[in-house]
Copies of this chain bind each other. A is one copy, B any other.
Amino acid sequence: MSNYIAIDIGGTQTRAAIFEQHSETPLLTQRISTLKQGEQPLDRLLDLIASIWEQSQPVCAIGVAAASPVDPYRGIIIAPPNIPGWINLPLQKHIQDRFHVPVALGNDANLAALAEWKFGSGKGHRNMIYITVSTGIGGGVILDNKLLLGERGLAGELGHITVLPDGPLCGCGQRGHIEAVASGPSIARWVEEELNKGKPSILPTGQHLTAKQIAAAATQGDELSLAAFHRAGTFLGRMFADYLHIFNPTAIVVGGGVSRSGSFFLEPLRAAMQSSVMSPQFLVNLTLTTAALGDEVCLLGALALAQSLANQ
């Protein structure tokens, strides 16, 4: 029996794990900081794979998730926001040349969708949407049991949809995207603005807040914090109705740190989705649920990708 290696390249940390065939529990996980002064990030990555490889052979395939737009067809990292110098890097070729096994590459949010579909809350659904609400908003779509990639592998940018024309500035440079309205930092910014206007709250003014702090205040009944999650949930729920009209799935799985805030977030989301569909037909057999896989989701997506390579 051969093993799989799964890699998750984040902006800060890179994780590598070994899995036996038919197992979703890693034999071994290693993590390094993605960047280190005086070292090439590619060399660091290849050395990490080598060190885990030694402990796990034989390896039949390697799957890689990256926090970057990627070209999954050609195995290229296009432009990760946090790794200087990796512009159009042919990472798949670099890894294959060194380790001589099949390698595949995917965008982290897309692979998180794959993981939730194969191992998590989306299991058994032929048509599923995964949305992660965290520092940013990303996602992935499973259609007819296949990950939607689009012509050049850029599809599934579900967080960059205009929900508020001329709204707040998004990380991507555009305005009014759902990421700029309902991500963790966007919820915090809205609360800070309301505090500056003098809205009463148990939260401190004049400080940089986090969605986590605001969720804690909401749990204690703070009205401004509750209103912030209600607003973000409502925007998301309306967008979920849009996605129901576009894709007609049977499951929407919500992941990411913000999704774990509580019912004061998820209930307005569900209510807005249900009241925003153009016909109740779109709600038939629909499951709206939170993600099952937690922080390991991208690593498990890389595993799912490696498994699909071995089964080809």
Which residues from chain A sit less than 8 Å from chain B, CB to CB? 69, 78, 126-127, 141, 143, 148-158, 160-165, 170, 172-174, 177, 235, 238-239, 241-242, 245-250, 276-279, 281-282, 284-285
Contacts and interface: CB of A to CB of B under 8 A. Distances in A.
Contact of A157 (B148, B153, B246): B246
Interface-central residue, A150, A158, A170, by most chain B CB under 10 Å: A150
A278 B159 CA distance: 11
30 contacts: A69-B279, A69-B281, A126-B151, A143-B143, A143-B150, A148-B247, A150-B249, A151-B248, A151-B250, A152-B285, A153-B248, A154-B279, A154-B281, A154-B282, A155-B245, A157-B246, A157-B278, A158-B246, A160-B242, A160-B245, A161-B246, A162-B163, A162-B238, A162-B242, A165-B238, A172-B278, A174-B241, A174-B276, A174-B277, A246-B246
Contact of A247 (B150, B276, B285): B150
A18 to B, nearest CB: 33
A244 to B, nearest CB: 8
The binding surface of chain A is classed by DSSP as: loop
B78 A161 contact: no
A303 B151 CA distance: 26
B126 A248 contact: no
Contacts of A154: 245, 248, 279, 281-282
A263 B153 CA distance: 32
Contact of A151 (B177, B242, B249): B249
Contacts of A148: 143, 247
Given A174-B278, A281-B152, A163 B160 contact: no
Nearest to A173: B278
Contacts of A143: 143, 148, 150
A214 B249 CA distance: 39
A130 to B, nearest CB: 13
A279 B172 contact: yes
A106 to B, nearest CB: 14
Nearest to A152: B248
Given A150-B127, A162-B163, A247 B155 contact: yes
A165 to B, nearest CB: 6
A240 to B, nearest CB: 11
Given A127-B151, A162-B241, A170-B278, 15 more contacts: A127-B150, A149-B248, A150-B247, A150-B248, A152-B284, A158-B245, A160-B245, A161-B246, A162-B163, A162-B239, A165-B235, A172-B279, A174-B277, A174-B278, A177-B278
